[in-house]
Chain A
Amino acid sequence: MTETILDIRGLTKTYKGGLKALDNVDLQIRKGEIFALLGPNGAGKTTLIGSVCGLVRPSGGTIQAFGLDLMKNWREARARIGLVPQELATDMFEKVHNSVQYSRGLFGLPSSPERIEEVLRSLSLWDKRDSAIRALSGGMKRRVLIAKALAHDPDLLFLDEPTAGVDVELRRDMWRQIDGLRDRGTTIILTTHYIDEAEEMADRVGVIEKGRILLVEDKTKLMARMGRMEAVFTLAEPLPEIPSILSDFPLHQSEDKTRLVYRGGDGTGQGKREVAELTKLLVGQGIDFTALDSHESSLEDIFVDLMEKQE
């Protein structure tokens, strides 16, 4: 059994004005994993992170990190938690280096020029160390916030939309950084609107909507469970019914009988094999088709599917 590093139970947050941003959330994060929290705007992702990091006062429920109750042993727990906020918010007039050094001190660690240099270099910020933060580009500003969050070597790191407004190259670069952190043993919880990001990086994925956790699952299992293959054959001539030789395949016809639709597979490649086999059989049977459109459903399809079911 893997160790639980963060244990959230029955977490509820009702904002002033009565909006219920979190509704009885249960979530356990495993030590060393990368957990991606997905959800539409206003789902409660930032509120959830804020509740753990001390920015939001929960209305109910308990939060334990490293086995410590965050309400009671907050000082000890917070010293080991890092946060990169969604908004680019920091003292913009400050120099990069000073800002990161301040963060380290704030979290109670002795100054360490070597460690700060290491953090700045790893984020390609070393050359900018004496620049005022406001003079940096948006993507670089976000890196400064990451550097600030890493300055105290947190064991648990929250990244609230770390790649929002970051170009493709920088995004890939950031994914590498985050991977590097995982290799060092940091547990990472990130939120994102980019499904491919979760697909690329996360070990587990959670979906939240309207303050409720709809699903938490291993990414690979999730892909296997729902990561299926869909293939649509556009037929040259309408087919009255599906020939019995094809009855073992998960097939159905469109209403006008001009298309044959395959839906199957388990995310391990079985779908692709079956579609290949099916193609050969159709050719062998003399059933002509003019187009073949196939795709493997991604996390995005699963996500969209889940969201649609909610409505």
Chain B
Amino acid sequence: MSGGLFNARGTWAIFHHELMRAFRTWIGSIFSPVLTTSLYFIVFGAAIGSRISEVNGVSYGAFIVPGLLMLTLLSESTSNASFGIYMPRFTGAIYELLSAPVGFVETLLGFVGAAAVKSLIIAAIILLTATLFVDYQIAHPVYALGFILLISAAFSLFGFILGIWADGFERLQIVPVLFLTPLTFLGGTFYSIDMLGEPWRTVALINPIVYLVNGLRWTFTGSSDVGIWISLSMTLGFLAVCVAVIAVVYKTGWRLRD
């Protein structure tokens, strides 16, 4: 299924349309991460963190910044992209996308690009909010930006798959609630997995989120529980798997074309 060239204008149209859709609800989009981040800092940073001296050489408050960022990035990227594709399926508006001269690549770039950009904006908001509560440094800013981008893209792709797979609103919610959030909490968002005794430390290493959180943490603090290259390859691997799944979905028309 190909022929013809890449439809750049179509890609831009999807991207623009999706971003505008997000901005229609910009109060929710911007305010909710600010609120969530503030709450976490008040509870974990101030209340609990004051009793924990340092983790891996940084204050506890600074230690949880990348964890919080990851927590929000994962849920926002996933939910943005999944709603983005699920809603037109639900309302029937997807007919236009399916009848247009856009294929797998254009659709993905448009939807995932928009979801990722929105995640970046949210990341910036979180990092700004965090400065109100803690002093933190970003040890490797370029890597940090790259990592944030990669993670946003990977989970936007994941959300896209979720939005295609879901055949009801509950299903759309169930994966984030049942898998993503627990794995993120268990993945060292608020603690170093070195704090866990064996065998739990080894068990924790099965959780893929551990590698993501630690990769991001390395770009902030310069140290982490696992190697940065392992983190990076895990993230890239996840991204590649998602792309492959979506390619198959488009090839077979699963859940998109009757």
Contact = CB atoms under 8 A, between A and B. Distances in A.
Bound together: yes
Interface of A: 15-16, 50, 53-57, 71-76, 78-79, 81, 83, 85, 87, 89-94, 98, 102-110, 148
Contacts of A104: 13
Nearest to A110: B9
Interface in B17-44: 17, 20-21, 24
Give chain A's interface secondary structure class. Answer: loop
22 contacts: A50-B258, A57-B258, A71-B1, A75-B101, A79-B101, A85-B95, A89-B91, A89-B92, A89-B93, A90-B91, A91-B21, A91-B88, A91-B93, A94-B21, A102-B16, A105-B9, A105-B12, A106-B13, A106-B102, A107-B101, A108-B7, A110-B9
A85 B92 contact: yes
Interface in B87-101: 87-88, 91-93, 95-101
Interface in B227-258: 253, 257-258
Contacts of A103: 96
Contacts of A85: 92, 95
B98 to A, nearest CB: 5
Contacts of A83: 95-96, 99
Interface residues of B, number: 34
Contacts of B98: 53-55
Contacts of A57: 253, 257-258
Nearest to B3: A73
A73 B13 CA distance: 22
B4 interface: yes
B101 A74 contact: yes
Interface centre among A73, A92, A107 (most CB of B within 10 A): A107
A162 to B, nearest CB: 15
B75 to A, nearest CB: 23
Contacts of B253: 57
A106 B24 contact: no
B4 A75 contact: yes
Interface string B185-215: 0000000000000000000000000000000
B84 to A, nearest CB: 11
A74 B258 contact: no
A54 B103 CA distance: 11
A148 B257 CA distance: 21
B124 to A, nearest CB: 26
B237 to A, nearest CB: 31
